């Protein structure tokens, strides 16, 4: 492969030969020499001298005419494939953000420009896919990703390496590994994660070239990322796919914010900031959480998760010590019954924390069902009548526990929690259909009538507020996922 110095030498020598031929009157030969230099320049333009693996030139295909046509349909009636094709068109037209990855001159090694360009743009497309996941859910995002892979790896860059698809996979691997150590690259966490992405991508190249390419590629990715994160969220927020194009896949039914800055499993404080982001159902003052706000919320969530983890482990260790004594033996009902009752406290702590702590909620609930079954089994052996009475009384207690320990309910009831009392209706509309149904089902639970009446009154108030909020969102052209279904569920509680 010819490097830059060799190319310059060829141009100088060839130019001199062409000039001598022209001066000597050999015009046809002189022009032929110049033409040969032009062809040489065009052929060497897209080549990369990187570990013997060059990025293939883009092929002209039957897909290209459709790229222009796809942009005329608007953002509200696209198929996933048209959406992908429109962005491939933008990418090859070098439109923002795809032209905003290049670092300062001299940063990219000689002849590595094509590699940095390809992977920077793949990184930006991956961020676009992340935003599609956030709004529409993973199944629909997979349709868009499949179109990107088909358009780019099967049609425009025909190469066994599958450059873009491989890049998407490597980015996922990097995210699962997390940022490189601060001692390795003493920068912020986002930049260190960019370095991790560069490391994973470069694993497909020869060892000798990885270190030479590592920091330059990471630098390019660190330019590409904020450009994509700044420009794509508004575009995705305005996008709606044609219903017929996504009829076979389930769309995400909860609102997960507008940008990519949120954790995959946010705790209760971060989750509420996420609900508020760019959301007209909330007051203007809280719609644009700052990085400092998010950091503070995550610190609170970390403390909550630690408390939930500690409570769960202590509760589970206590149960384990009773059912697995060193010498074996019978379980003492009098000793294990308190753990059945204390499950309510542990589950409430987990519910208030939200996010990853909800895994502990389910673990405690599962173990407690076994405890309850053992308690009733033992009581039935000694007194079936007492067992029947206990079962009836405990059913009411369980119903109350499950109401108070529902994650959304517990977070709303928490005095130092993130959800203001005036925000409950808006927050509920941001949740899944399942969560809305859980809250409405409280009015049908086997709980005391005064408690049931209180919840019915609260839900009626939320429903009235939700109607107003839904109209406000519609006027602002803001999409509340599955809003009609949620309103119908709330209405059913009011009409009951």
The encoded tokens of residue 61 equal 């295909």
Residue 253 domain flag: no
- For 424, the token pair is 């409950």
Domain termination residue (choose one: 190, 212, 245): 245
| Per-residue pLDDT at 187 | 92
Quick check: is 53 in a domain?
no
Same domain for 98 and 157? yes
Angle, alpha carbons 320-303-282 (nearest 5°): 125
**Residue finishing a domain among 212, 245, 278:** 245
Q: What's the mean pLDDT when you consider all of the chain? A: 86
Q: What is the predicted pLDDT for the residue at 111?
A: 82
What is the pLDDT at residue 211?
A: 85
Query: Based on the structure, what is the number of domains in the chain?
Result: 3
Top pLDDT among 16 and 272 is at 272
Q: What angle do CA 230, 233, 234 make, to 5 degrees?
A: 100
> Between helices 80-92 and 113-136, what is the axis angle to 10°?
150
55 found inside a domain: no
Inform me whether the pLDDT recorded for 320 exceeds 70.
Answer: yes
Q: Does 127 fall in a domain?
A: yes
- Token pair in block for residue 475: 């006027």
CA-based end-to-end distance of the chain: 77
User: Which residue is it, tokens 């983890």?
Assistant: 309
User: With bands split at pLDDT 50, 70 and 90, how would you rate the model's confidence at 263?
Assistant: very high
pTM: 0.80
What would the mean pLDDT of 345-359 be, rounded to a whole number?
Answer: 97
Shared domain for 81 and 221, answered yes or no, is yes
Q: How confident is the model at residue 42 (pLDDT cuts 50, 70, 90)?
A: very low
Q: Are residues 319 and 399 in the same domain?
A: yes
Tell whether 260 is covered by a domain.
Answer: no
pLDDT in tens, 181-207: 999 999 999 999 999 999 999 998 888
Q: Do residues 14 and 151 both lie within one domain?
A: no
Is the domain of 68 the same as that of 36?
Answer: no
Interval 77-130: pLDDT, tens:
889 999 999 999 999 999 999 999 999 998 998 888 999 999 999 999 999 999
131 and 16 belong to one structural domain = no
Q: Is the domain of 392 the same as that of 364?
A: yes
The domain boundary residue, chosen from 196, 211, 245 = 245
Q: Is the pLDDT of residue 486 over 70?
A: yes
Q: Examine the domain organization and report whether 287 and 171 are in the same domain.
A: no
Question: What range defines the domain where residue 233 resides?
Answer: 64-245
Sorting pLDDT into bands at 50, 70 and 90, what band is 405? very high
Do residue 166 and residue 277 come from a single domain?
Answer: no
pLDDT at residue 16, rounded to an integer: 56
Lowest-confidence segment of 26-40, 172-186, 333-347 by average pLDDT: 26-40
Residue 78 bridge partners (DSSP): 241
Which residue blocks in 329-383 are alpha helix, DSSP H? 333-353, 358-382
């Amino acid at each position: 492969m010819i490097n830059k110095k060799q190319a310059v030498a060829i141009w100088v020598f060839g130019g001199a030969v062409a000039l001598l031929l022209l001066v000597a009157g050999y015009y046809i030969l002189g022009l032929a020499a110049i033409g040969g230099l032009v062809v040489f320049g065009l052929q060497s333009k897209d080549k990369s001298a990187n570990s013997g693996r060059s990025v293939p030139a883009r092929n002209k295909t039957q897909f290209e005419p459709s790229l222009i046509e796809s942009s005329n349909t608007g953002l509200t009636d696209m198929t996933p494939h048209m959406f992908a094709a429109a962005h491939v068109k933008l990418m090859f037209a070098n439109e923002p953000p795809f032209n905003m990855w290049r670092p300062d001159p001299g940063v990219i090694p000689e002849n590595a420009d094509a590699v940095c360009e390809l992977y920077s743009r793949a990184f930006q497309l991956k961020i676009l896919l992340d935003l599609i996941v956030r709004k529409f859910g993973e199944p629909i995002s997979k349709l868009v990703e499949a179109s990107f892979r088909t358009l780019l790896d099967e049609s425009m860059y025909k190469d066994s390496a599958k450059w873009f698809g491989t890049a998407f996979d490597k980015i996922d691997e990097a995210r699962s590994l997390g940022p490189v150590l601060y001692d390795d690259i003493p920068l912020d966490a986002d930049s260190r994660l960019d370095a991790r992405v560069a490391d994973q991508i470069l694993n497909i190249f020869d060892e000798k070239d990885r270190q030479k390419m590592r920091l330059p590629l990471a630098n390019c990715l660190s330019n590409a990322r904020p450009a994509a994160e700044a420009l794509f969220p508004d575009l995705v927020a305005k996008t709606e796919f044609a219903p017929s194009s996504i009829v076979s896949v389930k769309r995400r039914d909860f609102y997960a914010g507008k940008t990519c800055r949120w954790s995959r499993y946010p705790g209760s404080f971060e989750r509420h900031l996420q609900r508020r982001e760019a959301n007209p159902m909330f007051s203007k003052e809280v719609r644009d959480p700052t990085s400092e706000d998010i950091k503070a919320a995550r610190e609170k969530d970390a403390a909550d998760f630690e408390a939930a983890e500690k409570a769960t482990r202590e509760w589970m260790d206590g149960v384990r010590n009773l059912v697995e004594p060193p010498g074996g033996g019978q379980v003492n009902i009098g000793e294990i019954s308190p753990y059945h009752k204390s499950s309510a406290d542990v589950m409430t702590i987990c519910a208030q924390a939200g996010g990853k702590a909800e895994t502990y909620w389910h673990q405690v609930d599962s173990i407690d069902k076994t405890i309850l079954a053992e308690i009733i089994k033992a009581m039935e052996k000694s007194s079936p009548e007492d067992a029947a009475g206990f079962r009836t009384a405990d059913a009411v207690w369980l119903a109350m526990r499950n109401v108070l320990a529902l994650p959304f309910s517990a977070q709303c009831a928490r005095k130092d929690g993130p959800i203001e009392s005036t925000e409950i209706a808006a927050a509920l509309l941001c949740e899944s259909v399942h969560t809305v149904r859980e809250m409405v089902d409280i009015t049908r639970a086997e709980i005391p009538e005064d408690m049931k009446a209180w919840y019915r009154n609260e839900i009626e108030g939320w429903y009235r507020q939700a109607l107003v909020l839904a109209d406000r969102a519609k006027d602002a052209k803001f999409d509340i996922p599955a809003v009609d279904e949620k309103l119908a569920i709330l209405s059913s509680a009011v009409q009951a």
